Amino acid sequence: MLFPTVQFAIFFVVVFLGHWLLSPHPKPWRWFILAASYFFYGFWDWRFTGLLAGSTLINQFFAVRIHAARSPRARRGYLIGAIAANLGVLGFFKYHGFLLTSVVATLDKVGISLDARPLEVILPVGISFFTFQAMSYVIDVFRERLRPARWLDFAVYLSFFPQLVAGPIVRGGEFLPQMERPRDPRRIDASRGFYLIMIGLAKKIVIADFLASHIVDRVFASPGLHSGPEALFAIYAYAIQIYADFSAYSDIAIGIALLMGLKFPENFNAPYTAVSITDFWRRWHMTLSRWLRDYLYIPLGGNQRGRLLTYRNLMLTMLLGGLWHGAAWRFVIWGGLHGLWLALERLVVEGRRARGKAPLPDAWWRRSLQRVGTFHLVCFAWVFFRADSLGTAWTVLGRLFTGWGEGATLLTPAVLVAIAVGLAAQYVPRPAVNHLLIGFSRLRPAVQGLALAFTLMIIDALGPEGVAAFIYFQF
C-alpha cells in the first residue's frame, strides 16, 4: 500500500479515527494499531505477515531471556542467539542468492565447476528495516539501556505501520515510552504533520517520479545510447531522485506519526549541503548512520584502538552498510567508496593535528568548494548504487568522457528545473519554514483545509500519471 494512493488515504482515515477514539483505552488501542499495521503490511503480500510475527516472537523471547539471565555468559549466549536468528532470516531472504553465485563464480575461476542455483525467494518488503529495529531492541536490553517491553507493546513497536517498510529506524527507547503517555488530540503538532506529509508528497510525485521517468531510468537502462551531457545530468538527477524519494517516505511517516501524537526521529537534514563525507553521513539517513555507529562501529572498537584499526572499522562499517542496502557487489563498492573517503578525511584531519596545525579557517568560498566537491563524490558513488550491474555503472561513467558532441534531447527545461529545485530546497533556512508553519497554524480550520486541498491539486497536476514504489522498498 503506497502512501500517495486513494487506498492509503481511506486506510489512514479509518486508522486515524480509531486511534483517537481508542486512545483513552490502552489495551484496545494496542490491539487496534497492531491489527491495522498487520493489515497494512499484509496488503503487499499477506504471507509475509507470518515473517513479521515470527520476528516479533523470536526477538521478544531473547530479550526476556537476556533480562532474566543471571550470568554474563548466559546473557551473551542469548544475545548471540538473537543476532544469529535475525541475520539468518535476513541472509536467507536477501543474501543467499548473492553469496551462492559469488561462491560459484569464484570456484569456477579456479577450475572447480559447481552446479548450484539460488532458490527463487521473494524479498519481503521492509525486512531490513524491521530486522534492524528488532536487533537494536535486543541489544539495548542486553546493554541494560532498556527493559523488555510487554509482548503486545513490542509487537506494536515492531509493526507500527508508518515507518514499517522504509524507516526511519526507530529504536525501542524512542517509541515504547510514548505508548505509556496519554495523548491529547488538542495538543498534536498538526501543522507540522500536514506540512511534512505535503512536502513528502511533492518530493515523491513532482520531483522523484518525474526525474525517474524523464531522464534517470532512460539513461541507466541504455547508457550507450545517450550523450555525455545526458549521462552527467542523469547522475545529478538520480542524486536528487533518491533524496527526494527516500526523504519523502520519511517525511510522510514522521508526519503521520505526529498526527497520531507520536514523534519519530529526524532522518534527513539537507544532506547535499554537506561540506564533507563525514558531514554527509550526519545528514543522510541519520537513523541508519546512528545505528551503524552504535551497533557496529563502536563495538568493533570505534576510534579507541589506534589509527589503523580506526580506518579498518570505518571501512568495515561502510562495507556492511553498503551490503545492507542490497545483495550485489555494486552496493559493496558504494559502501567501500564512502568508507575510503571517510578514512581519508580522518587521515587529513589527524595529519594536520599531528603536525600542530590549526583547522583551516572558515570562509564562504571554502565552504562552497567543499560542498561542490562533496556533492560530486556522493554522485560518483550513486552511479554504482543505481546501476543494475557493474557493467552499466562503468558504461555510464565512460559516457562522461565521450559523446559530448551528440544531442541531449532529455535535458528539457523541466528536467533542469526539477534538479535545480531539488538542490535549492535544501538551502531553505529552517527559521523560514518554522515561520511558515506558525502562520499556517494560526489559520482557521476551514482555510487550512482549503490550502491543503489546493496543494494536493497542484501536486497531482504537476506529477506524472501513476505512482511508482518508493526506492527503498527493495532494501
3-state secondary structure 99-146: HHHHHHHHHHHCCCCCCCCCCCCCCCCCHHHHHHHHHHHHHHHHCCCC
- The alpha helices in 260-328, defined as continuous H runs, are 277-281, 286-292, 298-300, 307-325
Distance CA 76, CA 21 (A): 43
Nearest to 93, CA basis, from 156, 50, 57: 50
Report in angstroms the alpha-carbon separations of 353 from 239, 305, 315, 381: 33, 18, 22, 29
* Amino acid (one-letter) located at 423: L
Contacts of 326 (CB under 8 A, 6+ apart): 474, 475
Contacts of 218 (CB under 8 A, 6+ apart): 226, 234, 410
Distance CA 213, CA 324 (A): 26
Distance CA 295, CA 344 (A): 23
Contacts of 252 (CB under 8 A, 6+ apart): 3, 162, 196, 197, 200, 201, 204
User: Cell for 195?
Assistant: 506540512
**Annotated catalytic residue, options 96, 325, 376, 435:** 325
The answer to whether the CB of 244 falls within 8 A of the CB of 207 is: yes
User: Cell for 187?
Assistant: 495538543
User: Cell for 163?
Assistant: 515507518
Distance CA 343, CA 303 (A): 11
* Amino acid (one-letter) located at 340: L
Distance CA 296, CA 215 (A): 37
Q: How many CB atoms lie within 10 A of CB 146?
A: 20
The answer to whether the CB of 350 falls within 8 A of the CB of 278 is: no
Question: Which long-range CB contacts under 8 A does 265-268 form with residues at least 24 apart?
Answer: 265/168, 265/170, 265/174, 266/168, 267/167, 267/168, 268/243
Would residue 325 show up in a list of annotated catalytic residues for this protein? yes
Distance CA 258, CA 188 (A): 7
Contacts of 394 (CB under 8 A, 6+ apart): none
User: Cell for 21?
Assistant: 477514539
Residues designated as active site: 325
